[in-house]
Chain A
Amino acid sequence: MKRTGRNRQEIAAGLAWAAIGLGAIAIAANYAFGTIIRMGPGFVPILLGALLAVFGVIAAWQGRREPEVSLDLRWRPFAFIIGGIVVWVLLIDHVGFVPSTVALVAISAQAERDVTWLETFLLAAGMTLVGYLIFIRGIGIPIAAFGS
């Protein structure tokens, strides 16, 4: 970790919140604002957007003095965990519970480097069976085991 006089990432984070606040105001400008007695749907969102913008700027200002933080992103676990869920969502309504769950477990297990193929296989089979028994047989949620 580098220590510099300016902390770019902290400042950027504060400004990002401020930008979200301004964006919220811009969108809410399309909703009726109303009066203080009869507030329209736009009143509270604009108020909140303004608060977010103000505090975002304050956070950015304070961020100048904070020690440098930088995002310690580990790509491998990140990609496999997010990827596993994405694949599950894309598959679930088309191929059914069993294939999508096998895919989720097999993909997300790769997030850790030390996993073996045998472990992956046993885990996928085990989770699918347990999940099938609890959720489809037990609770009876309406998902097909196979197919859509």
Chain B
Amino acid sequence: MDLFSGIALGLDVAITSEALLFCLIGVSVGMFIGVLPGIGPLAAVAMTLPITYHLEPMSALIMLAGIFYGAQYGGSTASILLNLPGTSTTAVTALDGYPMAKQGRAGVALFITTITSFAGGCFAIVLVMSFAPALGQMALKFSSAEYFSIMLLGLVAAATMSLGSPVKGIIAVVAGLLLSTVGMDPTSGTIRYSFGVLELQDGLNLVAMAMGLFGVAELLKNAGKPRDLTPQKVRLRELIPTRKDLSECWKPTVRGSFIGSFVGILPGAGPTLAAFLAYAFEKRVSRRPERFGRGAIEGISAPEAANNASTQAAFIPTLALGIPGDAGMAVLLGAMMIHGITPRPEFFTTNADLFWGLVVSFWVGNLMLLVLNIPLIGFWVRILTVPQRILFPAILFFICIGVYSVSNSPFDVMTVIVFGIVGYLMNAYGYPPAPMLMGFILGPMLEQHFRRALLFSRGDITTFIDRPISAAFLVLTVALVASLAIPGFMARRRARLAED
């Protein structure tokens, strides 16, 4: 199917009143949750996932995807006005966005981030449309060896390319893989690590784990901490950027979109990394790098374009290979599987309507966000000032009822508590919880392909390097690990992070 007939098909699916409605609900809810400080896209998707069980798969996916990228948009508002990033992905935006707000240019900053987010998102959507089916075609030839190697690359990337210690990232991934073995082994039927608990025989619940690690853990981290709730003022008149602002930010937007799309396509590397890279790159190419951190407009436009581009581009490996680009995609992938949709190479032909409908809905959703964001800025600012003592019990309620309603199981809610505490401790000691979730989600597939690849090769471990595509993924994995082991690189990386 060529691009234009695909778009036509997508328009047919995405421009129905039902699809439009769920897209609107998705982006508004996403925006709403994203604006709340401390809650990111991942928690947003996890919290609303149970509600979508009762919808048609198409509507559910459109809505969940909308929540996901909507939350990405919303996060920047809290960063700019309160210096409180909703997520780590928008932490970069706070670096220059908050100084701009203090200089009375909050309106311009919000306007620019909205426009550049839109531009970055659109750029990446075009890439998804052109490359995802092609990658799917290529992936038809993949055997277990290729799948194993690309997942390994994804997991190593997730572990090592986060901002903290790579060793801690690897520990988190391995722990997640180990957690994924809980329950019945599909090959032999043996029950593993159930400790005699009946509920554990089916394995741990993904939604419960995600809510614990990213919902309850975040609340535990932020509760009881005083925070400054007087956002910088925004007046509608101040929203319009000057011609100088616009001419200063279009090139960074283009560069950010490229960087973000590239990072998004890599399995395992998500929007946080994209935003940091785009910011570092702008600072390097800028003629006046000293302005960064003091309200440079390039400092908000490049990372915002990058994180939204990467959020959209991450759909490429997710849809074509069934390998999520980051933890948020992983939860979305889990949602697709619950709806009986398994992304795999054939997805683009067997579920052509679903793919094109979803991608066109991204566009519709991005457009809705543009319209929602700017005129309603006063409303979003108001939400920012809701105090934690009101917000946290409400979030807890949605977490409890949401997890419970997945399978009416009190055990799942207990799982949330356990992983809430685990996530809290991991955050406190610098172990990133997102790679753990990645490991948990990819674990069963990784084990299956590992076992199958070695079964087909009669135990010959060289099967992973004999096959050229698999070998290429492994070379990339080794290069990634090697780049971390080189002391000079580490020192420079640390220095740059410390500087930012």
Does A133 interact with chain B (Cβ within 8 Å)? no
* Chain A contacts for B197, CB-based, 8 A: none
- Cross-chain contact of A78 among B178, B181, B220, B393 (Cβ < 8 A): B220
B396, A85: Cβ atoms under 8 Å? Answer: yes
Does B193 interact with chain A (Cβ within 8 Å)? yes
Interface of A is mostly: helix
Task: List CB contacts (< 8 Å) of A6-41 with chain B.
Answer: 9-10, 13, 17, 20-21, 24, 27-28, 31-32, 35-41
Report Cα–Cα, A44/B444, bound state, in Å.
Answer: 10
Shortest A10–chain B CB gap in Å is 7
Quick one: given A56-B171, A127-B393, A139-B54, are A41 and B185 in contact (CB under 8 Å)?
yes
Report Cα–Cα, A112/B399, bound state, in Å.
Answer: 19
Shortest B27–chain A CB gap in Å is 19
Task: List CB contacts (< 8 Å) of A96-137 with chain B.
Answer: 101, 104-105, 108-109, 111-115, 119, 123-124, 127, 131, 134-135
Report Cα–Cα, A45/B401, bound state, in Å.
Answer: 33
Smallest Cβ-Cβ distance to A78: which chain B residue: B220
B181, A58: Cβ atoms under 8 Å? Answer: no
A20, B392: Cβ atoms under 8 Å? Answer: no
Quick one: given A59-B171, A77-B224, A108-B396, are A72 and B187 in contact (CB under 8 Å)?
no
B393, A108: Cβ atoms under 8 Å? Answer: yes
Report Cα–Cα, A27/B51, bound state, in Å.
Answer: 37
Interface of B is mostly: helix
- Cross-chain contact of A10 among B387, B404, B405, B429 (Cβ < 8 A): B429
Residues of A that sit less than 8 Å from B by CB: 9-10, 13, 17, 20-21, 24, 27-28, 31-32, 35-41, 43-45, 48-49, 51-52, 55-56, 58-59, 62, 69, 71-72, 74, 76-78, 81-82, 84-86, 88-90, 92-93, 101, 104-105, 108-109, 111-115, 119, 123-124, 127, 131, 134-135, 139-143
Residues of B that sit less than 8 Å from A by CB: 51, 54, 165, 167-168, 170-171, 174-175, 177-178, 181, 185, 187-188, 190, 192-193, 216, 219-220, 223-225, 387-390, 392-394, 396-397, 399-401, 404-405, 408, 410, 413-414, 416-417, 420-421, 425, 428-431, 447, 450-451, 454-455, 458-459, 461
